[in-house]
A and B are shown apart, each in its own frame.
Chain A
Amino acid sequence: MRKSTLLCAASLAAVLVSPVLASPAAAQDLTIGASAEPSALDPHYHNLGPNNAMRRHVFESMVLQDENQRLQPGLATSWKPLDDTTWEFKLREGVSFHDGSPFTAKDVIYTVCRIPNVENSPSSFTVYTKAIADMQAPDPHTLIIKTDGPYPLLPVEVSTWGVLSAAANGVTGDIGFGREGCSGTGDYPKTDDFNTGKAAIGTGMYKFGEYSRGDKIVFQRNDNYWGGKADWATVTFRPITSDGPRVAALLAGDVDMIDKPPLQDLERIKNEGFQVSQGLSNRVIYLHMDQEQEPTPGVTGTEKNPFKDVRVRKAVSMAINRDAIVARIMGGVAVPAGELLPPGMFGSTPGAGAEEYNPDAAKKLLAEAGYPEGFGLTIGSPNDRYINDAQVAQAVAQMLTRVGIETQVDAVTASTFFKRRNQYEFSMYLAGWGSGTGEMSSPLRALVATRNKDKGYGGTNRGRYSNPDLDALIDQALATVDDDKREKILQQASGVVMADYGILPLHFEVTPWAFRKGITYTPRADQYTLALGVKPTN
């Protein structure tokens, strides 16, 4: 009798203390431990990965990007260019916002009007709307968009922003679109209105539930979703920015899934009965070389800038054993790169393999270029931005030293690294580029096109590589609306850079996700962690 009372009390205590028992993990709920947190729930406040991933649960775009960033119908069922500067989007019928109001072309126009009017936006979405010269809605489910010149990236760019409801924000009359300002839109909602949930009204599969900064973001299922029923009644994102605690939260069963588990923990996670899915990301890790300054700050032992000579650039590329870096430093969780975009994405060249490792040929080539004794070099690298970035730079340094280029690594924290890189302090630096648009013009335009403020070219070309042939090809691709033709031109442009060794791709990052048994997650090239892609297996 007494013993059973004790037992009873003990189990009661256990129930009270243990959250696992107190709230049995309902099969309808999903909790995700996220490595990064959005800075706001306003879909147009901050154009950054965590924000963009989070907004897709609530706010949808006319065009969606699938796991490989290929375009799919979203709120628009189809789109086509009517001529070089006019696009027609057919909008989905029978879609309603979370507040019940119907979705029409007016909502899209309202959204484009609001994007430049977000107060204090640290990084605004105007980059993706500035091509839009005019918008017309001949009927509620047809949208005509005009651009200044031929603009093939329009469908990609409309996939980057989510659509707001005009009615939910108090707009009942007609809206007139104008680049310098729209008419009839009234006051736009403030960023805080989204954070409190007041304005967080979209067409998405999930509705705003709760937002507590630093603690959790909760979404509820939208039962009236046009695309069918969501798999989870409640989705909770919990930001756990430190790696160890995030893994612990998964192992303890507090979260169902985590993103970016550290590579060294993958084995342990699998051994404990959890699952890992991983896929190629759109991010390439590359080495850029200063091809302008003479002498260049990080090179010693010569008065010249050796990287202006294509033979030196080629020698460096051949001296790097990319397979070894992938196998030993990246633990196999990466793929050697032969160009700036992974195979299978728009504009990549089938069969573009990575440079063969050949240290002997590299030495010979260096001697031919006038550096038989090599030279001294310092590589700049961040040490907390990309997966194992500083270790990769170290490995590259050892490989270059082996062929006679005495190399040291200057690895610093990302914020300092980027500042110094932008002041051209490095003769060679390691960095990464994720292609937001998922197609080849993104890395080409940013990394290797000649720096040109007016055209927006070469924004991240801190090696100041310049090749008029390449620039002409990029111009041509960006004025070709026909997808097949454009892809061919982009492949050709990529070939030009690679043959010229204008930049040296090292590897593509592979992104892992870890989750409990009973669910699956399809890896995404954009590295987004979306509850939309988490499926129960039974």
Chain B
Amino acid sequence: MLVYLLRRLGQSLFVVAAMAVLVFIGVYAIGSPIDIMISPDADQAEMEAAIARLGLDKPLWEQFFIFVGNALQGDLGKSFVYSTDAVGLILSKLPATMELAMLALIFAVFIGVPLGMVAGLRPNSLAGKSIMTGSILGFSLPNFWQGMMLILLFAVVLKWLPSGGRGDTAELFGIPFSFLTLDGLSHMLLPAINLALFKTSLVIRLARAGTREAALQDYVKFARAKGLSPHRIVLVHIAKNIMIPVVTILGLELGSMIAFAVVTESVFAWPGMGKLLIDSINLLDRPVVVAYLMLTVFMFIIINFIVDMLYCVLDPRVRLSEAKA
């Protein structure tokens, strides 16, 4: 166990270092933020002062070493645009994204798993076939388009739900959350559905495949032979055993939902991290983009780690000490 943890740690550090180089060079080599940020009325002297203040007059390698030096002390830079700490800026957007991702995750699990099991237990029934057809739509239609259609239908035509924004918030531990108010919840519904559609389809397919496989296993046959009720067989013996792939995928997908909910947040003007990322890219707010990508790397490393732990809980046959890679 300890050996495994140490090995994972070493790998993680390597990944972080490699990402730092790639991300920094990729982001800092492109374009010039000065021309976007500074008023065109500014004269040359002032432009030069701004360039010097942001450190853009130094060669790229020097900027990189300054960045690494600061990063080792936990400082990932200051936003060019807002002149506040980049990490703080990103973290201030985290709650909005997290609550959206969590709601989407709940949708994906509580809709995806039951539907997938139905499709797996009755693959040839009308219900089973419709579920599978529906899941293809969830996969193949572009996220942006799905979002716009949701807005068009529920906000523009039916006027049931708001078209975007965060709505009223209430504070929990000093952080504003939307899910605590009715108005906030109504604002969350459409973006959460939009974010969940793809994942739900994914879960449906995984759950269906798992169910079909599990239904033919000896232990299920044995349970049937023992005369257990069908309910118990489905809910305990099958459901538990199809969860490993579902947890794996959802773990990874949760990461991408939090880090890259860019499309959904843009479509629904949801003030989360994804929208911040897009706005920062448009403004060439380099420190924010770099800090964002670095935080994303950390997050994925941590999520992967938790997923590995969950395997262990779900299936005692998996032993961490034996895992390679």
CB B120 to nearest CB in A, in angstroms, measures 33
Q: Do A19 and B156 have beta carbons less than 8 Å apart?
A: no
Q: Which residue of B lies closest to A453 (CB)?
A: B44
CB A242 to nearest CB in B, in angstroms, measures 5
B43 at the interface (CB under 8 A from A): yes
* CB interface residues, B 26-41, toward A, < 8 Å: 30-33, 35-41
CB A267 to nearest CB in B, in angstroms, measures 16
Q: Do B41 and A39 have beta carbons less than 8 Å apart?
A: no
Residues of B within 8 A of A295 (CB): none
Residues of A within 8 A of B160 (CB): 14, 17-18
A244 at the interface (CB under 8 A from B): yes
Residues of B within 8 A of A213 (CB): 82, 92, 271
CB A187 to nearest CB in B, in angstroms, measures 18
B42 at the interface (CB under 8 A from A): yes
B315 at the interface (CB under 8 A from A): no
B81 at the interface (CB under 8 A from A): yes
Q: Which residue of B lies closest to A242 (CB)?
A: B266
* CB interface residues, B 154-189, toward A, < 8 Å: 155-156, 159-167, 176, 182-183, 186-187
- Stretch of A89-97, A116-124, A173-181, A313-321 contacting B (4+ beta carbons < 8 Å): A116-124
Q: Do B159 and A248 have beta carbons less than 8 Å apart?
A: no
Residues of A within 8 A of B161 (CB): 17-19
Q: Do B165 and A460 have beta carbons less than 8 Å apart?
A: no
Interface 0/1 of A33-46, CB less than 8 Å to B: 00001011000011
Give the number of chain A interface residues (Cβ < 8 Å).
62
- Stretch of B45-53, B107-115, B121-129, B235-243 contacting A (4+ beta carbons < 8 Å): B45-53
Q: Do A248 and B164 have beta carbons less than 8 Å apart?
A: yes
Residues of B within 8 A of A416 (CB): 30-31
Q: Do B30 and A415 have beta carbons less than 8 Å apart?
A: yes
Residues of A within 8 A of B80 (CB): 122
Q: Do A415 and B33 have beta carbons less than 8 Å apart?
A: yes
Q: Do A248 and B44 have beta carbons less than 8 Å apart?
A: no
Q: A254-B163, A446-B40, A459-B40 are in contact. Are A122 and B31 (CB under 8 A)?
A: no
A121–B37 Cα gap in the complex (Å)? 10
A119–B46 Cα gap in the complex (Å)? 14
Residues of B within 8 A of A215 (CB): 165-166, 271
Q: A22-B183, A124-B46, A126-B46 are in contact. Are A214 and B31 (CB under 8 A)?
A: no
Residues of A within 8 A of B78 (CB): 120
Q: Do A436 and B41 have beta carbons less than 8 Å apart?
A: yes
Q: Do B164 and A244 have beta carbons less than 8 Å apart?
A: no
* CB interface residues, A 333-348, toward B, < 8 Å: none
Interface 0/1 of A226-270, CB less than 8 Å to B: 000000000000111110111011011110000000000000000
Q: Do B152 and A40 have beta carbons less than 8 Å apart?
A: no
Contact partner, B165, options A120, A216, A456, Cβ 8 Å: A216
CB A239 to nearest CB in B, in angstroms, measures 7
A320–B81 Cα gap in the complex (Å)? 39
Residues of A within 8 A of B33 (CB): 415
A128–B38 Cα gap in the complex (Å)? 14
* CB interface residues, B 262-295, toward A, < 8 Å: 266-269, 271-272, 275-276, 278-279, 282, 284
Contact partner, A39, options B81, B148, B278, Cβ 8 Å: B81
Residues of A within 8 A of B164 (CB): 240, 245, 248-249, 254
Q: Do A419 and B32 have beta carbons less than 8 Å apart?
A: yes
Q: Do A248 and B155 have beta carbons less than 8 Å apart?
A: yes
Q: Do B45 and A191 have beta carbons less than 8 Å apart?
A: no
Q: Do B182 and A16 have beta carbons less than 8 Å apart?
A: yes
Q: Do B162 and A459 have beta carbons less than 8 Å apart?
A: no
A418 at the interface (CB under 8 A from B): yes
Give the number of chain B interface residues (Cβ < 8 Å).
58
Contact partner, B148, options A122, A214, A244, A422, Cβ 8 Å: A244
CB A116 to nearest CB in B, in angstroms, measures 11
Residues of A within 8 A of B32 (CB): 415, 418-419, 422
Residues of B within 8 A of A39 (CB): 81-82
A453–B44 Cα gap in the complex (Å)? 6
Residues of B within 8 A of A238 (CB): 165, 269
Q: Do B163 and A120 have beta carbons less than 8 Å apart?
A: no
A39–B42 Cα gap in the complex (Å)? 18
Q: Do A245 and B163 have beta carbons less than 8 Å apart?
A: yes
A242–B268 Cα gap in the complex (Å)? 9
A415–B32 Cα gap in the complex (Å)? 6
A167–B75 Cα gap in the complex (Å)? 37
Q: Which residue of A lies closest to B150 (CB)?
A: A248
A8 at the interface (CB under 8 A from B): no
B93 at the interface (CB under 8 A from A): yes
Q: Do B269 and A240 have beta carbons less than 8 Å apart?
A: yes
Contact partner, B159, options A20, A47, A128, A453, Cβ 8 Å: A20
CB B92 to nearest CB in A, in angstroms, measures 8
Residues of B within 8 A of A16 (CB): 182
Contact partner, B82, options A40, A126, A242, Cβ 8 Å: A40
CB B166 to nearest CB in A, in angstroms, measures 5
Q: Do B46 and A254 have beta carbons less than 8 Å apart?
A: no
Residues of B within 8 A of A442 (CB): 41
**Could you list 5 examples of A-B contacts with CB < 8 Å?**
A126-B46, A242-B269, A248-B163, A436-B41, A446-B40
What 9 new A-B contacts, CB under 8 Å, besides A14-B160, A238-B165, A251-B163?
A19-B161, A123-B42, A191-B83, A212-B176, A215-B166, A245-B269, A248-B155, A254-B163, A418-B32
